[in-house]
């Protein structure tokens, strides 16, 4: 038994090393001068710790603004998905109206379609509305989530409807039932949705690359991509950019780890 | 009297139903339904950036079938599926089983294995671009120290796809370990107790209890991973970047996915929207077929207890 534990520790330590070493290397390189970073044989610690890479990046690139832009699009898209999605989910779960099944199937079929098929028309639509190269373009296409409807409908179906019926007898309309009975109990699917869709919006790079040109309107992911182009082959600068763009979210993850894990785990056991 | 009142209420209920789904459907209408059909229409024209195209029938699709670059990108994508998906499944399952065992300090191990999942893909790819740098990268430095030769991981077209595959696997592990771990914790302990009474060893328990009961989760991870390989863009794009005017080189061609080819063609270089949308339609059809095949095969190996 003891020997088995020892092997588990060894295997996990190797896995952790593989995950963590790239980040440590990024961090160490970001404090090196260019000469230091390209020394052969390789030097692990910086000969001289410098902050100039960070200073030069922050002088050219609005990294804090990128975080604001990412945060804005993540928060607005989640709020939109929750409200628009829960309204529709309520209707699909609780109200009888003609064409309901067909409309719901139509929604589900969208989930099968890769996003790329929508991109060119969306770009043209936003361009006609004068919304390309604006922060609005980042979140407006993400407000309407079929996945959100699906997730919350499943949940609403599992809520017993005695309460609704009692409220109905008291003369409450659907909107009141939705707002006072259903919406407050949607906490669990809302957290899952916030984690999953927040991660998708935060990580998406293609759409911001296409739709945003000005540096100060970019989200973090595509901002870092332009930073890498700007500092081509200047490795310490690129790594400092990487550190600036990943450390805040990693701290965020450490704080909210429990929710992240629960949110991601919830989709595997939906069956 | 009673009947008329009911009818009125029913009509109100129907109206409420439509009103509830209306806000969502306005958005879906513009950004999904209209976009979908508009995209198909564009794929039948020779539209380029900023100018209306004319109808050219199925010419773009014929071109897709004859396009060597497209075929190569599809071949690459299939290779990513065949290389990355099994690796992701095996590594994530092993790590999840280890993290599920009764050992001290597993909370720290978990956190350290999970955290890359929130890191921006561009930061991940940038870090690996540096690690894999031919002359100064850490990995080649280690190779040299052991008397090996420098390998041009991200330049030599024999290696580019494998280098990208490694980084894709690395970036995907954390997320899938969480999903599999949840599946493991869902398995009732009574199975293991019964097995222990029967004297089954740990390895036997894994293959005869854990694995069969985990198949629904593994199926989910499998479909998720396959689809995400078909949509892979960020990592291959950031590891081997193209420039505004140069979207083709041996290194790029040998590693790019269909989605990156779509992006390179439509939003860099040629700005050929008609052809780009034809490629996106083909991608859709390919994903559809893959999903249908997976659903068919599901019945063969997934075990629902």
Average predicted confidence (pLDDT) for chain A: 92
CB-CB neighbors (< 8 A) of A23 in chain B: 116, 127
User: Are B21 and A88 within 8 A, CB to CB?
Assistant: yes
pLDDT level of residue B3 (50, 70, 90 thresholds): low
pLDDT given for residue B10 in this prediction: 87
CB-CB neighbors (< 8 A) of A29 in chain B: 130
Q: Is the pLDDT reported for residue B249 higher than 80?
A: yes
Q: What is the DSSP string of A260-271?
A: HHHHHHHHHT--
Q: Is the pLDDT reported for residue A101 higher than 90?
A: yes
CB-CB neighbors (< 8 A) of B5 in chain A: none
What chain A residue is nearest to B291 in terms of C-alpha separation?
A112
Closest approach of B284 to chain A, Cα-based (Å) = 6
Distances from the Cα of B297 to the Cα of A262, A268, B16, angstroms: 29, 19, 42
Q: How far is CA B113 from the centre of its chain?
A: 19
pLDDT given for residue B244 in this prediction: 66
User: Are B267 and A209 within 8 A, CB to CB?
Assistant: yes
Residue A14 CB neighbour total at 10 angstroms: 10
The mean pLDDT value for A244-268 works out to 89
Task: Give the percent of chain B with pLDDT over 70.
Answer: 97
All residues at 6 or more sequence positions from B124 whose CB lies less than 8 Å from its CB, including other chains = A22, B116, B167, B170, B171, B235
- Residue A158 backbone dihedrals phi, psi, to 5 degrees: -85, -10
Number of residues in chain B: 305
Q: Is the pLDDT reported for residue B2 higher than 60?
A: no
Tokens 């339904």: give the residue: B33
pLDDT given for residue B101 in this prediction: 87
Distances from the Cα of B204 to the Cα of A56, B186, B197, B201, B210, angstroms: 58, 19, 13, 5, 9
Could you tell me if A169 lies within 8 Å of chain B, comparing CB atoms? no
The more confident residue out of A268 and B161 is B161
All residues at 6 or more sequence positions from A117 whose CB lies less than 8 Å from its CB, including other chains = B35, B36, B39, B277, B280, B281, B283, B284
Tell me which residue in B32, B123, B217 faces A245 most closely, judged by beta carbons. B123
What is the Cα–Cα distance from B128 to B131, expressed in whole angstroms?
Answer: 5
Could you tell me if A251 lies within 8 Å of chain B, comparing CB atoms? no
Tokens 């497209």: give the residue: B70
CATH 1.10.3720.10 fits A61-230, yes or no: yes
Structure tokens that stand for A48 in this block: 């001289």
Residue A173 CB neighbour total at 10 angstroms: 13
pLDDT given for residue A271 in this prediction: 38
pLDDT level of residue B6 (50, 70, 90 thresholds): low
Whether the CB-CB separation of A206 and B261 falls below 8 Å is answered with no
Structure tokens that stand for A216 in this block: 């100060």
Structure tokens that stand for B152 in this block: 């041009």
The mean pLDDT value for B53-77 works out to 94
pLDDT given for residue B9 in this prediction: 82
Lowest average pLDDT, out of A117-126, B45-54, B228-237, goes to B45-54
What is the Cα–Cα distance from B90 to B173, expressed in whole angstroms?
Answer: 10
The more confident residue out of B229 and B245 is B229
User: Are B119 and A246 within 8 A, CB to CB?
Assistant: yes
Predicted confidence (pLDDT) per residue in A196-244, tens digit? 999 999 999 999 999 999 999 999 999 999 999 999 889 999 999 999 9
- What is the pTM assigned to this prediction? 0.93
Residue A215 CB neighbour total at 10 angstroms: 16
pLDDT given for residue B276 in this prediction: 94
pLDDT given for residue B303 in this prediction: 79
What chain A residue is nearest to B112 in terms of C-alpha separation?
A16
What is the Cα–Cα distance from A149 to B28, expressed in whole angstroms?
Answer: 12
The more confident residue out of B191 and B235 is B235
What is the Cα–Cα distance from B258 to B208, expressed in whole angstroms?
Answer: 39
pLDDT given for residue A3 in this prediction: 65
The more confident residue out of B104 and B96 is B96
Residue B55 per-residue DSSP state: B
pLDDT level of residue B194 (50, 70, 90 thresholds): confident
CB-CB neighbors (< 8 A) of A245 in chain B: 120, 122-123
Could you tell me if A246 lies within 8 Å of chain B, comparing CB atoms? yes
Lowest average pLDDT, out of A21-30, A127-136, B3-12, B279-288, goes to B3-12
What chain B residue is nearest to A257 in terms of C-alpha separation?
B111
Tokens 């599946």: give the residue: B183
Whether the CB-CB separation of A77 and A267 falls below 8 Å is answered with no
Helix (H, G, I), strand (E, B) or coil at B134: coil
Tell me which residue in A5, A238, A250 faces B118 most closely, judged by beta carbons. A250
Closest approach of B99 to chain A, Cα-based (Å) = 8
CB-CB neighbors (< 8 A) of A238 in chain B: 126, 129-130
Closest approach of A54 to chain B, Cα-based (Å) = 15
Could you tell me if A261 lies within 8 Å of chain B, comparing CB atoms? yes
User: Are A40 and B135 within 8 A, CB to CB?
Assistant: yes
CB-CB neighbors (< 8 A) of B124 in chain A: 22
Could you tell me if A110 lies within 8 Å of chain B, comparing CB atoms? yes
Predicted confidence (pLDDT) per residue in B210-228, tens digit? 999 999 999 999 998 999 9
Could you tell me if A256 lies within 8 Å of chain B, comparing CB atoms? no
What is the Cα–Cα distance from B87 to B92, expressed in whole angstroms?
Answer: 8
pLDDT given for residue B1 in this prediction: 45
pLDDT given for residue A209 in this prediction: 94
Could you tell me if A118 lies within 8 Å of chain B, comparing CB atoms? yes
Q: How far is CA B299 from the centre of its chain?
A: 23
Domain locations in chain B as residue ranges: 68-301
Whether the CB-CB separation of B275 and B265 falls below 8 Å is answered with yes
Could you tell me if A131 lies within 8 Å of chain B, comparing CB atoms? no
The more confident residue out of B241 and B52 is B241
The mean pLDDT value for A98-118 works out to 92
Q: Kindly report the CATH number that applies to the domain delimited by B68-301.
A: 1.10.3720.10
First to last CA, chain A: 35
Average predicted confidence (pLDDT) for chain B: 91
What is the Cα–Cα distance from A43 to A45, expressed in whole angstroms?
Answer: 6
Tell me which residue in A4, A114, A175 faces B284 most closely, judged by beta carbons. A114
Please name which of A146, A114, A206 lies closest in space to residue B287, comparing C-alpha atoms: A114
User: Are A121 and B34 within 8 A, CB to CB?
Assistant: yes
The mean pLDDT value for B217-246 works out to 90
The mean pLDDT value for B61-87 works out to 96
Whether the CB-CB separation of A198 and A78 falls below 8 Å is answered with yes
User: Are A268 and B221 within 8 A, CB to CB?
Assistant: yes
pLDDT given for residue B66 in this prediction: 95
């Amino acid at each position: 038994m003891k020997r088995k534990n020892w092997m588990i520790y060894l295997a996990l330590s190797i896995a952790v090393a593989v995950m963590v070493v790239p980040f440590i290397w990024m961090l160490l390189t970001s404090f090196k001068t260019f000469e230091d970073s390209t020394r052969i044989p390789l030097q692990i610690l910086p000969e001289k710790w410098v902050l100039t890479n960070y200073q030069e990046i922050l002088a050219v690139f609005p990294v804090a603004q990128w975080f604001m832009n990412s945060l804005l699009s993540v928060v607005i898209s989640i709020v939109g998905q929750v409200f628009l999605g829960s309204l529709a989910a309520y209707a699909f779960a609780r109200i009888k109206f003609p064409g309901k099944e067909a409309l719901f199937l139509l929604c589900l079929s969208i989930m099968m379609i890769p996003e790329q098929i929508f991109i060119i028309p969306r770009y043209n639509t936003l361009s006609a509305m004068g919304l390309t190269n604006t922060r609005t373009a980042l979140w407006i296409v993400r407000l309407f989530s079929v996945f959100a409807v699906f997730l919350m409908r499943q949940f609403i179906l599992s809520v017993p409807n005695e309460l609704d019926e009692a409220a109905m007898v008291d003369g409450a309309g659907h909107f009141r039932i939705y707002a006072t009975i259903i919406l407050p109990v949607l906490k669990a699917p809302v957290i899952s949705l916030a984690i999953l869709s927040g991660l998708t919006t935060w990580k998406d790079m293609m759409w911001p690359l296409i739709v945003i040109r000005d540096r100060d309107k970019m989200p973090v992911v595509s901002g870092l991509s332009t930073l890498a182009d700007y500092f081509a082959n200047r490795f310490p600068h690129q790594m400092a950019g990487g550190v600036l763009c990943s450390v805040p979210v990693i701290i965020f993850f450490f704080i909210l780890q429990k929710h992240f894990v629960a949110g991601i785990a919830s989709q595997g056991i939906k069956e | 009297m009673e009947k008329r009142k009911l009818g009125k209420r029913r009509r109100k209920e129907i109206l409420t139903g439509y009103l509830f789904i209306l806000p969502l459907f306005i958005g879906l209408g513009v950004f999904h339904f209209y976009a979908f059909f508009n995209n198909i229409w564009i794929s039948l024209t020779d539209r380029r950036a900023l100018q209306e195209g004319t109808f050219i029938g199925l010419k773009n699709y014929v071109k897709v079938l004859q396009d060597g670059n497209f075929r190569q990108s599809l071949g690459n994508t299939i290779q990513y599926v065949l290389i990355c998906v099994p690796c992701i499944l095996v590594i994530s399952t092993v790590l999840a089983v280890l993290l599920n065992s009764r050992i001290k300090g597993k909370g720290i191990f978990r956190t350290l294995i999970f955290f890359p999942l929130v890191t921006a893909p561009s930061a991940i790819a940038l870090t690996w671009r540096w690690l894999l740098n031919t002359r100064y990268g850490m990995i080649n430095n280690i190779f040299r120290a052991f008397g090996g030769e420098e390998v041009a991981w991200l330049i030599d077209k024999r290696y580019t796809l494998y280098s990208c595959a490694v980084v894709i696997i690395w970036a995907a592990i954390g997320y899938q370990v969480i999903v599999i771990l949840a599946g493991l914790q869902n398995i009732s302990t009574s199975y293991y107790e019964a097995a222990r009474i029967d004297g089954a060893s740990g390895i036997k328990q894994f293959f005869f209890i854990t694995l069969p009961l985990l198949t629904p989760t593994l199926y989910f991870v499998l479909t998720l991973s396959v689809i995400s390989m078909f949509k892979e863009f960020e990592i291959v794009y950031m590891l081997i970047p193209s420039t505004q005017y140069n979207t083709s080189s041996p290194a790029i061609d040998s590693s790019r996915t269909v989605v990156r080819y779509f992006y390179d063609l439509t939003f860099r270089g040629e700005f050929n929207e008609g052809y780009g949308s034809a490629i996106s339609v083909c991608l859709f059809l390919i994903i559809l077929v893959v999903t249908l095949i997976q659903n068919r095969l599901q019945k063969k190996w997934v075990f629902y207890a």
